Structure formats: structure tokens, C-alpha cells
Copies of this chain bind each other. A is one copy, B any other.
């Protein structure tokens, strides 16, 4: 067990929380030098809340429906994160747009995972979009959050092939497998203090080739 102080994570989720679970598992297995100090959901029915409860993690729901606008919701979320001394905000299926209020409170300290190889297919329902386009590959991207939609500097990506028989469900599942690998890995790179952003390029100190560009086992 590392004696280093651990990176304090706040994980935000709106849904089932499988990406949260992969981070919980890696923290518990001491594979990453981080600890989740708050799980925050905007939706009281989020499965992520139950996962947090089960793992014995501090968790809270701040329901966006209780707020008049995005800024006041974000101010409340930021207050909860600051109170828990969160150092890195990890969006794990958090279905709310992040406002400037939030970005200003955690500059270059908010990361997201997106189920496509950005800049291809930003936005929603992107697995279906990749199928409809007839792309031969898709994947997932861990990126820093900026004020655009899925436009921030890229930390890590993983590729998966798209197969002729794929449906939205099978492709999503194949991508999700990779999400569960690269998201904890990207968090560990930050925990190790090896990540810097130059312009919009994310540099990893002492990187192995395979650390930020993962390929699903060869076809």
C-alpha cells in the first residue's frame, strides 16, 4: 500500500454508475492512488447512489429540479464538492451541462468520459451515430471538460472495431468495457502528477506508448 496522500475524487453520475463502479473497484484494490470522497447525483433514482451506499462512500443527491437555473444548481454542486475537499471532479455519466460557475471553481480539474473517438461523434446517442455513419471503428475518450460539448483536451482514448452485426447495444457494451479500463487509468495518471496541458495537447510525463492509446485485443 502506497503511503502517498491520495487524490481526492468527487464522482458525479446521473445513471447506473458502472463507470463509478470501475473506479470504486480500482480504488479498493489499491490500483489507483485516489479515494472517492463524494459521490454526487442529480437524480434521486440514480443507481450510482446505491453503489456508493453499498461501497460505504459519502454520497448525496442534489436534484437539479429544485433549482431555478443551471448556475444556481452548479453553485450548490460546487459547494458540496469544495466542502468535501475534492481535488478532481470525475463525470461518470453525469447528464448535465457544466456551466462556467463550475468550470471556474475547478479549472482543468474536471474530467469526462465519452463513448466515441472524439472529435468524431460528439453529443448524445453516439454509438448509434457511429453505426449509422458506417464507421469501421469507434471507442471512448477521457477528456478535460471545457465550455464546449465534448471538445476539451484529450487525456486517453481506446479503440474498438465496429462489426457488421453490431447493434447499438452490442457496440455500447464493447465500448463500455474499454471505458472501465481507461477511466481509472487516466485518473491514476493525474494522481501521479504526470499530466500537463499545453495548448490543447495533454502531455504525460514518462509515458509508455500504451498508456494513453489503448487498442482492444487485435481482431
Contacts and interface: CB of A to CB of B under 8 A. Distances in A.
A163 B213 CA distance: 9
A62 B192 CA distance: 59
Interface stretch (A21-29, A33-41, A89-97, A113-121): A113-121
Contacts of A121: 119
Contact of A202 (B134, B154, B210, B215): B134
A31 interface: no
B212 A219 contact: no
Given A120-B117, A133-B154, A164 B207 contact: yes
A20 B215 CA distance: 30
Contacts of A209: 161, 163, 219
Contact of A134 (B154, B161, B215): B154
Contacts of A202: 134
Task: State how many copies of this chain the complex holds.
Answer: 2
Contacts of A132: 199-201
Contact of A136 (B131, B133, B212, B219): B212
B134 A159 contact: no
Contact of A117 (B117, B156, B203, B212): B117
Interface in A161-195: 161-164
A139 B213 CA distance: 13
Contacts of A201: 131-132, 134
A15 interface: no
A137 B163 contact: no
A60 to B, nearest CB: 34
Q: Which 7 A-B residue pairings sit nearest by Cβ, starting from the closest? A: A136-B157, A134-B201, A136-B213, A161-B213, A120-B120, A210-B219, A209-B219
